Amino acid sequence: MSTGTGSGKSTATWRNWAGNVTARPARETTPASVDELAAALRRAKEDGLKAKPVGTGHSFTPVASTDGLLIRPDLLTGIRAVDRAAGTVTVEAGTPLKRLNAALAREGLSLTNMGDIMEQTVSGAVSTGTHGTGRDSASVAAQIVGLELVTADGSVLTCSADENPDVFAAARVGLGALGVITAITFAVEPLFFLTAREEPMTFDKVTDDFDALVTENEHFEFYWFPHTGNCNTKRNNRSPGPAAPPGKVSAFVEDELLSNGLFQVVNSVGRAFPATIPGIAKISSKALSARTYTDIPYKVFTSPRRVRFMEMEYAVPREALVPALRELKAMVDRSRLRISFPVEVRTAPADDITLSTASGRETAYIAVHMYRGTAYQAYFAAAERIFTAHEGRPHWGKMHTRDAAYFSEKYPRFGEFTALRDRLDPDRMFGNDYLRRVLGA
C-alpha cells in the first residue's frame, strides 16, 4: 500500500483557483489512509497547529485557508464500495467529481443531479453546498446517505440518518468546521439519458413565465446578459435515449469557442475598454443559437469553465427570484457599471441539511460574476444589497460580506450547528478567520 507524505514542513504558498486567496501553511500532509490522517491531526494538535483540508480551490472565500496544517486529499481517492441493492456508492473524499462521474458511468450508474463544473473534490463540493438546478432533485450534499468524519482528537465517526444523526444533519454542508471528511456514501441510480434544450429567450418572457418553466422541466436554468434584454435558457429532462450528443463542430463552436476561447478575448477587451462592454454584450447574447442534444447526465449537466472570474451567489426564497432579478437588472441599467459576464439563475427544492442554502425552503439562486482582474466590488456590493433585502443566503464558497449575526437570523438551525461545533471542535482546531466571521468565535 502506498504511504502518505507525512507532515513535512511547508514552504509552498497555496492559492485558490480564482487567485484571490493565498495561504502559507506551516506544514502539509497528504495522507494515504484514514489512520495516517488521524495521526497527522493528533501531531498537529500536540504542536498547537490549526488544520484545514483543501480540495481544488474552487471556493472564492478563504474557507480552506490555514497557516497551520494543510491537508491535501490527493491520495484519498477512488470508489470504496458499490451497493447495487441499496443504490449507493461509497467514495473516498479526495476523489474529483469528474473521476467519480466517469467511474459511475462505467458501472452503469449516475448521481441524480450535479453542478455545472466537475473539477472539485467530492468533499470540497459538498462541504460548501455545491448545487446544480432541479425541480425535485437538490444539491450534491442532499444526495449523501452516509459519511465518515475524522474529528479534532483523531476519532473516526460514521454518520448517517441512523448513526450520529445530529452530525450527519450538519456535516453534509459542514464548511470544514466539524472535522475532515474521509469518505462519502451517495445515493445513485441506474445510468439514464437527459435531453437538453438550449434556447434564447427574452428577459421579460423568462421572468413572466419563470414558475411555469420551473414546474414543467426537471432541470431549468438560464443566463441573463447584463446591458441587454436577452437570456439563454437550458431545459434538461429525462429521455429514453439514445445518446445524440452535439456534433463535433457544434460542440467546438458553442462550448470551446463561444463559451471559453472567444469569451476570454471578449472579457479581456472589456477589461481594457469598459465602454465597449454593452455593445459586445448585445452581440454575445445573440451568438448562442438554439440546440437540442441527448447524453448521459454528467455530459449534459457539466461544461468546461476555463475563463477565470470572481463570483457571488445568493439563495433567495423561490418566490423572491423574479422581483430580485428585476431589481438587479434595473440597478445595472441605471448605473455606470459595465458587466461582461452573464448572470446565472438556478433552482432547488427545500432540503433538511442544517446550513444548506436551501435548508427548509424552496430556493432560487442568482449568481453574479466579474472577469478576474476587473474591479468587482461596486457591482457585488449593489447586488448583495438587493439579495439580502430578499432574505438571501450567500453560497458558502462564494464571495459575500455576511457574518454570524446575519446567519443566525437566516438559518433557523444555526444554533444547532454551532453547538455541535462546540462539542466536536471546542479548541477550534479547524477554525480560521473566515469561519470566525461566519460562525462566530
256-262, long-range: CB < 8 A, 24+ apart: 256/304, 258/284, 258/287, 258/288, 259/303, 259/304, 260/304, 260/305, 260/306, 260/307, 262/287
Cell numbers that stand for 198 in this block: 438550449
Quote the pLDDT of residue 3: 38
Quote the pLDDT of residue 262: 59
Q: Which residue type occupies 383?
A: A
Quote the pLDDT of residue 255: 57
Quote the pLDDT of residue 64: 95
Residue 196, Cβ density class (10 Å: 0-12 exposed, 13-18 middle, ≥19 buried) = buried
Q: What value does the mean pLDDT take over residues 300-325?
A: 92
For the chain, the distance separating the N- and C-terminal CA atoms, rounded to the nearest angstrom, is 41
Q: What value does the mean pLDDT take over residues 219-232?
A: 95
Quote the pLDDT of residue 405: 98
Quote the pLDDT of residue 277: 76
Percentage above 70 pLDDT, the chain: 91
Q: What is the DSSP letter of 176?
A: T
> Is the per-residue pLDDT at 140 higher than 50?
yes
Q: What is the mean pLDDT of the chain?
A: 92
Query: Which pTM does this prediction carry?
Result: 0.93
Assign 215 a pLDDT band (cuts: 50, 70, 90): very high
Quote the pLDDT of residue 279: 77
Q: By the 8 A CB rule, do 338 and 274 touch?
A: yes
Quote the pLDDT of residue 165: 98
Q: Which of 82, 18, 52 is nearest to 430 (CA)?
A: 52
Q: What value does the mean pLDDT take over residues 329-351?
A: 96
Quote the pLDDT of residue 138: 82
Residue 155: Cβ within 10 Å count: 12
CA 117 from chain centre, in angstroms, equals 8
Quote the pLDDT of residue 7: 55
pLDDT in tens, 230-240: 999 999 999 99
Assign 254 a pLDDT band (cuts: 50, 70, 90): low
Assign 247 a pLDDT band (cuts: 50, 70, 90): confident
d(CA 148, CA 157): 6
Assign 304 a pLDDT band (cuts: 50, 70, 90): confident
Alpha carbon of 240 to those of 101, 237, 295: distances in Å?
20, 10, 10
Quote the pLDDT of residue 270: 72
Assign 1 a pLDDT band (cuts: 50, 70, 90): very low
Assign 2 a pLDDT band (cuts: 50, 70, 90): very low
If you search the block for the grid coordinates 461545533, which residue do you land on?
A: 421
Quote the pLDDT of residue 384: 98
Assign 10 a pLDDT band (cuts: 50, 70, 90): low
Assign 263 a pLDDT band (cuts: 50, 70, 90): low
**191-205, 266-280, 366-380, 386-400 — which is least confidently predicted?**
266-280
Q: What value does the mean pLDDT take over residues 337-359?
A: 96
Assign 259 a pLDDT band (cuts: 50, 70, 90): low
Assign 5 a pLDDT band (cuts: 50, 70, 90): very low
pLDDT in tens, 381-404: 999 999 999 999 999 999 999 999
CA 177 from chain centre, in angstroms, equals 17
Listed in sequence order, the residues at least 6 apart from 47 whose beta carbon sits closer than 8 Å to its beta carbon are none
Query: Is residue 250 classed as helix, strand or coil in its secondary structure?
Result: helix
Cα Rg of the chain, angstroms: 21
For Cα atoms 197, 133, 283, give the angle at the middle one, nearest 5 degrees: 50
**74-88, 102-116, 254-268, 359-373 — which is least confidently predicted?**
254-268
Q: Name 291's bridge partners.
A: 198
Q: What value does the mean pLDDT take over residues 185-192?
A: 98
Listed in sequence order, the residues at least 6 apart from 28 whose beta carbon sits closer than 8 Å to its beta carbon are 5, 7, 8, 10, 12, 69, 70, 71, 72
Query: Is residue 105 classed as helix, strand or coil in its secondary structure?
Result: helix
Query: Is residue 128 classed as helix, strand or coil in its secondary structure?
Result: coil
